[in-house]
Amino acid sequence: MSPTTIESILQEERLFQPPDTFSRTAHIKSMEEYQRLYNQAQADPEQFWAQLAEQELHWFQKWDKVLDWQPPFAQWFVGGKLNISYNCLDRHLTTERRDKLALIWEGEPGDSRTFTYTQLHREVCQMANVFKHLGVHKGDRVGIYMPMIPEAAIAMLACTRIGATHTVVFGGFSAEALKDRLLDAEAKVVVTADGSWRKDAIVPLKEQVDQALAGNAVPSVQSVLVVKRSGQLTHMDPGRDHWWHELRADASADCPAEPMDSEDPAFILYTSGTTGKPKGVVHTTGGYNLYTHITTKWIFDLKTDTDVFKGADIFWCTADVGWITGHSYIVYGPLSNGATTLMYEGAPRASNPGCIWDVVEKYHVTIFYTAPTAIRMFMKMGEDLPKARDLSSLRLLGTVGEPINPAAWMWYYQVIGGERCPIVDTWWQTETGGAMLTPLPGAIPTKPGSATLPFPGIVADVVDLEGNPVGDNQGGYLVIKNPWPSMIRTVYRNPDRYRSTYWEHIPPKDGQYLYFTGDGARRDRDGYFWVMGRVDDVINVAGHRLGTMEVESALVSHQAVAEAAVVGKPSEIKGEEIVAFVTLEEGYLPSAELVKELKQHVVREIGAIARPGDIKFTEALPKTRSGKIMRRLLRSLAAGEEVTGDTSTLEDRGVLDKLRS
Ligand code: WTA
């Protein structure tokens, strides 16, 4: 964890007040109102959440008990029955919103499609019926390996509609990574597309699925549903593979939403941890629906009128649906609120570096939510690109995924937001389901680089390893002190790992369980949180979480590699990049060729997001006497810093000298 610097303390003095014009129409209009909500939630959390659940969601049957907390296992709205897909679609159909745009989609080549709530509902019902036809029942798992096309969201909503548990695998993951996740989830059906447009080329997704399933490697998978997107010749396995457009032709658009128990699983999403094997984070129905709904509404100050002249928002979250941000803030949060959500297939590329701003201009996007890595990349591409477009429709900006440096924050504020848009820097995780530390834009003054204050109902703190709160501006571990509706319920088929990862690093304090986030943070004199990044063996590359052990396992699966240690190194644009220290097996020699080969090997094993920026060969790795690799030393070396601190536990001091040279 980086130490608190004088510079960052000075930055705090820069307070940005919410503009009056913004606050006047905001859902939460003032600091007093935020504080009132916060206190109310703290005084009686169950009453607070129950009231919101009642007001904001449709329930087929009301719960018997708001919260059943058997630490560390929580159940919310016990006995309640609802359906997320119903809350996202059906309930809007009896209102004026039925003809409102639910989803705007822009393809990379410039094609586009739009869906009103009525149209989206129809598509979802049809896909749900296709799933049923393929033998999917309530409780079955469906893998979704899709490009950023409407059918990705349609597949998710079709799953939750019939009570199937989806597990979306980011389309940038390799066949190998896909296979691991499908195996762990025991998926019955996989939904994919022939290919996806990415930087003016076609990525053949279906080929990856074929590779993942080759030789009946995932025996649970019975069918593959393929959406035609890119149109190239695609091999179809008779009996196993089906074209969506063919099955859709005969699929009924009548598919009532299944009343789900509030604690029935909604989805599993795999995320990297500190071991070689990704964890299946399990989210359930009622609590997830409620928390993503209310955070979308209050944090993005969402206006869900049907009329643009009354301020109806066009909400664009640039994440991929393969990540939790896409689940919560492209699909479930915005649709549950009845908003218009925008989905874009493309990315800035040589042929159109300003495409992001073209999309903002074309659709009059009002709320734009992206990652600091993207902002730093936009900054590098220069002001001319955004300035050549009309971005005046924007009224709110957001960021997520990594700490944002004050310089990028200021650029975003000035160049993109024209100094009129508040910025919400939202801190959260796959495990938290929705944003936890965040400004409410009409109420909470912001400081560049700080995710500010906890959302009402969330009790956060910065503590030491014994769970004692540390003082103002002292670095420590960020923890959450109370259960919240959208918290991770367990690690799929591995409750022990759930317990040990999140609840045992820091022991319960005075009988209170503390959720360990894995992040380091400090809190300033105003109670504002400054998240500094991971303190565990997780690297955050361009806002993507990667386990060092995952990359290490990928490297040692190559015949030339004896041992590998992976660390993060600060990177100007991506926040961090991967540096691997590798020792070779007898008979292999370091070479530029081998570096290339090993990088490629990691891409094959995990995906392009895990490609090491640098590979350094070494004769030995610095280890303690008990054989633990001293990553701290490697991190300093990778960053080109002086190795400081205690090195007395090193087994062989000579290793360090060799590495230095
Ligand atoms: C980091 C993404 C600083 C953090 C929603 C966390 C952040 C990890 C912020 C979760 C932020 C996310 N400021 N750091 N605003 N938001 N992080 O699971 O290290 O992909 O633990 O969820 O991203 O990444 P995940």
The CA-based dihedral angle spanning residues 366, 367, 373, 377, taken in that order and rounded to the nearest 10 degrees: 0
Q: Comparing C-alpha atoms, which of 68, 6, 448 is closest to residue 262? A: 68
Q: Give the tens place of pLDDT for each residue, 437-473.
A: 999 999 999 999 999 999 999 999 999 999 999 999 9
Which residue type sits at 609? I
Q: Comparing C-alpha atoms, which of 177, 174, 134 is closest to residue 158? A: 134
Q: What is the mean pLDDT of residues 291-305?
A: 96
Cα(563)–Cα(55) distance, integer angstroms? 56
Contact call for residues 585 and 562 (beta carbons, < 8 A): yes
Cα(161)–Cα(129) distance, integer angstroms? 10
Pocket test for ligand 1, best of 436, 437, 545 (most atoms within 8 A of CB): 545
| 75 CA from centroid of ligand 1 (Å) | 24
Nearest atom within ligand 1 for CA of residue 325: 5
Cα(554)–Cα(79) distance, integer angstroms? 44
Cα(377)–Cα(392) distance, integer angstroms? 21
- What is the DSSP annotation of 229-277? SS-------TTTEEEHHHHHHT--S--PPPPEETTSEEEEEEE--SSSS
**First and final CA of the chain: distance in angstroms?**
26
Residue 311 banded pLDDT, cuts 50, 70, 90 = confident
- DSSP-derived letter for residue 459 is -
Nearest atom within ligand 1 for CA of residue 437: 15
Q: Give the tens place of pLDDT for each residue, 138-153.
A: 999 999 999 999 999 9
| 441 CA from centroid of ligand 1 (Å) | 19
Say which residues have a Cβ less than 8 Å from residue 647's Cβ, sequence separation at least 6.
630, 633, 653, 656
Q: Give the tens place of pLDDT for each residue, 526-546.
A: 999 999 999 988 999 999 999
Q: Give the tens place of pLDDT for each residue, 317-368.
A: 999 999 999 999 999 999 999 999 999 999 999 999 999 999 999 999 999 9
Nearest atom within ligand 1 for CA of residue 404: 13
| 450 CA from centroid of ligand 1 (Å) | 13
Q: Minimum mean pLDDT among 4-8, 390-394, 599-603: which range?
A: 4-8
Pocket test for ligand 1, best of 170, 283, 400 (most atoms within 8 A of CB): 400
Q: Which residues line ligand 1 (CB under 6 A)?
A: 271, 323-325, 400-403, 425-430, 451, 517-519, 531, 533-534, 540, 545
Q: Using a CB cutoff of 8 Å and minimum separation of 24, what contacts does 38-46 make? A: 38/453, 38/454, 38/456, 40/456, 41/456, 41/457, 42/457, 42/459, 45/457, 45/482
Place of tokens 């709160």: 469
* Per-residue model confidence (pLDDT) at position 626: 85
Q: What is the mean pLDDT of residues 366-389?
A: 97
543 HSE (CA, 13 A, CB side): 25
Residues 126-148 as b/e (b if ≥16 CB within 10 A, e otherwise) read bbbbbbbebebeeebbbbbbbbb
Q: What is the largest CA-CA distance in the chain?
A: 73
Beta strand 65-70 with 73-78 is antiparallel
Ligand 1 atom 3 nearest Cα: 403
Name the 3-class secondary structure at 192.
Answer: strand
Q: What is the mean pLDDT of the chain?
A: 95
| 543 CA from centroid of ligand 1 (Å) | 7
Cα Rg of the chain (Å, integer) = 24
For residue 39, how many other CB atoms are within 10 A of its CB?
12
Ligand 1 atom 12 nearest Cα: 401
Does 651 have pLDDT greater than 80? yes
Write phi, then psi, for 453 (nearest 5 degrees): -120, 160
| 539 CA from centroid of ligand 1 (Å) | 11
Q: Comparing C-alpha atoms, which of 29, 49, 143 is closest to residue 434? A: 49
- What is the DSSP annotation of 274-317? SSSS-EEEEEESHHHHHHHHHHHHHHTT----S-GGGT--EEEE
- Which domains, ranges and CATH numbers included, belong to the chain? 542-660 (3.30.300.30)
Residue 3 banded pLDDT, cuts 50, 70, 90 = very low
| 404 CA from centroid of ligand 1 (Å) | 11
Cα(541)–Cα(543) distance, integer angstroms? 5
Residue 653 banded pLDDT, cuts 50, 70, 90 = confident
Cα(617)–Cα(655) distance, integer angstroms? 12
Q: Where are the beta strands (DSSP E) in 320-428?
A: 340-344, 367-370, 396-400, 423-426
DSSP H or E segment with residue 568: strand 561-571
Nearest atom within ligand 1 for CA of residue 544: 20
Percent of the chain at pLDDT above 70? 98
Residue 7 banded pLDDT, cuts 50, 70, 90 = low
Name the 3-class secondary structure at 371.
Answer: coil
Sign of CA dihedral 586, 590, 591, 596: positive
Q: Where are the beta strands (DSSP E) in 574-628?
A: 575-584, 614-617
Say which residues have a Cβ less than 8 Å from residue 648's Cβ, sequence separation at least 6.
none
| 460 CA from centroid of ligand 1 (Å) | 15
Residue 4 banded pLDDT, cuts 50, 70, 90 = very low
Pocket test for ligand 1, best of 268, 271, 427 (most atoms within 8 A of CB): 427
* Per-residue model confidence (pLDDT) at position 277: 86
101 HSE (CA, 13 A, CB side): 17
* Per-residue model confidence (pLDDT) at position 10: 54
Say which residues have a Cβ less than 8 Å from residue 213's Cβ, sequence separation at least 6.
179, 182, 190, 221, 224, 240
Write phi, then psi, for 89 (nearest 5 degrees): -130, -70
Beta strand 340-344 with 101-106 is parallel
Q: What is the mean pLDDT of residues 582-601?
A: 97
Pocket test for ligand 1, best of 519, 522, 539, 548 (most atoms within 8 A of CB): 519
Partnered with residue 540 across adjacent β-strands are 545
Does 639 have pLDDT greater than 60? yes
Does 11 have pLDDT greater than 60? no
Q: What is the 3-state secondary structure (H, E, C) of 23-53?
A: HHHCCCCCHHHHHHHHHHHHHCHHHHHHHHH
* Per-residue model confidence (pLDDT) at position 235: 97
| 530 CA from centroid of ligand 1 (Å) | 12
Residue 400 banded pLDDT, cuts 50, 70, 90 = very high
CA distances from 447 to 406, 410, 426 (A): 9, 10, 12
Name the 3-class secondary structure at 530.
Answer: strand
* Per-residue model confidence (pLDDT) at position 9: 53
Pocket test for ligand 1, best of 169, 531, 537, 550 (most atoms within 8 A of CB): 531
* Per-residue model confidence (pLDDT) at position 659: 86
| 451 CA from centroid of ligand 1 (Å) | 11
Q: Minimum mean pLDDT among 156-165, 613-622, 645-654: which range?
A: 645-654
* Per-residue model confidence (pLDDT) at position 413: 98
* Per-residue model confidence (pLDDT) at position 654: 87
